[in-house]
Structure 1
């Protein structure tokens, strides 16, 4: 399917991303937290990461959420808005705080500590879907982080995915984004599989799928488990990404990238792929844009890094297989 045009899906138009964004503290330079002397303040949230990268890629995008009436909330709102995202639908909660996360870099991976219990965003519910921006959207993007935050947040995601695909006014994309620390009750595997299978476009990491649904799963097995989405993307880290659509499969190897920190790369990939679909790209080109966007997150300690210039992006999108395989992001 790599060279076959894919019908424009979703329809070209505005995007709405819904979910929590927190203030984030990370050691600078990136050393283990217990030996750090300085912490850098930034923002972190899966859905707003997607929104910011979509804005970078020229899309009209809104982020809907709630923030505390505090300095962290003001910092988050300003940072997301500065990336070109519409934040006018973000509610300020005078009673609940903005969530906080702290990154703890290690030799093999970065641990993340969450301080988000009772946060403003945890009080979100299905009423968010009544926002005029949702009603006029071409695409609504959600992740598996939100249903783990509270019963009302789970109801929000269930309501967004509750309408049968053929009756929805917009496409719905869902990134599994499994965060084990948010699912202490052991329900993640069942809940996330059900939600992921109801979306029009679903993203899942192969490692996530193996942790949730079986250690021996391969991409084709994941497609059998999640058979209903019109498009399923299975990301295999720095190896490749696989798209399944209309009975066909398209695989694109990842770009070679010097990795500073992997946090945020999955969100960036989703934004690039979705931007490609909205532009009417065929699957291979959309997967390539996903990899290009992901590489921007991999090269920085924060979740949101600068994209290559437009000419470089076009060069990579147009590269033949040999050039793509040899390319460095």
Structure 2
């Protein structure tokens, strides 16, 4: 490992309860909203669903680790340091000496008359992650001693449907995580996170991959549009009948309310009222709130209520992750 990174990763090792596995990204956000071609300066941040979940967990006092790969570059060093600053265990982050750290640019609308302005309060993400260090995740990564030390200690491993879309080797990593023995009652959660842009031209392959991974998980989270795409229904009862393998199933509807199943027991939990500033990151905050409550011994209904509360924090801000933001009432 590069010595500079070694100093950073040793800042925090927190005996994680949850390991979040997937690509973490540098984020560039225009300092002034508007059409991207008019943006001259950008603010750097960090993001990616798996990092967002790890930060959300750590910020709420649930020890979490990030399992990812970054480039041997300034973006990678910043990303690792930022995650550690938020209390995330980064001891198992692998440094790729050749591939760069992935990044995305967030375009934020201003409601100006410019023909390419997205519109006020609207945003879009532009990804630059092809050939990135994170896209080279593979089952070999799981055999690294630092990674094994984390995985052997946690109570839950979290994956999303973004990772299998990155590359064949990243999909194999997901399958390998699902296939590991559930030692000590360890569970695996899977947030469907269907991203059409990542599966463009191979949608059928994506549906098969996400279906396979969902059926191998212990906990599955998904939205109604994702449910329609992958499982052909957004009706909670029909979805539970179709997807019986995971014990816990959480379906979020378009109003951000949720229906959850713990086995055959159903819970319908309304969302909280909030003035939405930006929706990006709310799904990751929901996952962090839910999983944090779950590993803390809460029942499924209470976990969904916690998920709603943390999602409100994300919906009320422009950040991609909740960080150390105050918990919503």
TM above 0.5: yes
1:70 and 1:309, CA in 2 relative to 1: closer, same or farther beyond 3 A? Answer: closer
1:169 and 1:252, CA in 2 relative to 1: closer, same or farther beyond 3 A? Answer: closer
C-alpha contact 1:140 1:171 (8 A) present in aligned 2: yes
1:48 and 1:195, CA in 2 relative to 1: closer, same or farther beyond 3 A? Answer: same
C-alpha contact 1:30 1:301 (8 A) present in aligned 2: no
Cα offset for 1:162? 2.2
Matches of 2:56 and 2:152 in 1, distance apart?
22
1:6 corresponds in structure 2 to none
- Aligned-partner SS, 1:194: helix
Matches of 2:244 and 2:231 in 1, distance apart?
14
2:308 corresponds in structure 1 to 291
- Aligned-partner SS, 1:20: coil
Matches of 1:171 and 1:239 in 2, distance apart?
25
1:155 corresponds in structure 2 to 172
Give CA-to-partner distance per residue, 1:147-206, whole Å, 9 cap, x none: 1111111100011112476x6751000101111111121211111111111100011011
Give CA-to-partner distance per residue, 1:214-263, whole Å, 9 cap, x none: 3x532222222221101001111434011111201111111111111111
1:193 corresponds in structure 2 to 211
1:68 and 1:299, CA in 2 relative to 1: closer, same or farther beyond 3 A? Answer: same
2:139 corresponds in structure 1 to 126
2:187 corresponds in structure 1 to 171
Cα offset for 1:30? 3.5
Matches of 2:29 and 2:230 in 1, distance apart?
28
The answer to whether the aligner puts 1:180 opposite 2:180 as a matched pair is no
Aligned residue among 242, 265, 268 for 1:248: 265
Aligned residue among 276, 281, 292 for 1:259: 276
1:113 and 1:285, CA in 2 relative to 1: closer, same or farther beyond 3 A? Answer: same
- Aligned-partner SS, 1:220: helix
Unaligned stretches of 5+ residues in structure 2: 1-14, 109-117
C-alpha contact 1:299 1:305 (8 A) present in aligned 2: no
RMSD of aligned Cα (Å): 2.1
C-alpha contact 1:135 1:169 (8 A) present in aligned 2: no
C-alpha contact 2:16 2:89 (8 A) present in aligned 1: no
- Aligned-partner SS, 2:230: helix
Aligned residue among 92, 95, 99 for 2:95: 92
Cα offset for 1:282? 2.0
- Aligned-partner SS, 1:62: strand
Matches of 2:304 and 2:290 in 1, distance apart?
6
| Between 127-136 and 67-76, the greater mean CA deviation after superposition | 127-136
Cα offset for 1:38? 3.1
1:47 and 1:306, CA in 2 relative to 1: closer, same or farther beyond 3 A? Answer: closer
Unaligned stretches of 5+ residues in structure 1: 1-11, 317-329
| Between 101-110 and 182-191, the greater mean CA deviation after superposition | 101-110
Q: TM-score, normalised by structure 1?
A: 0.85
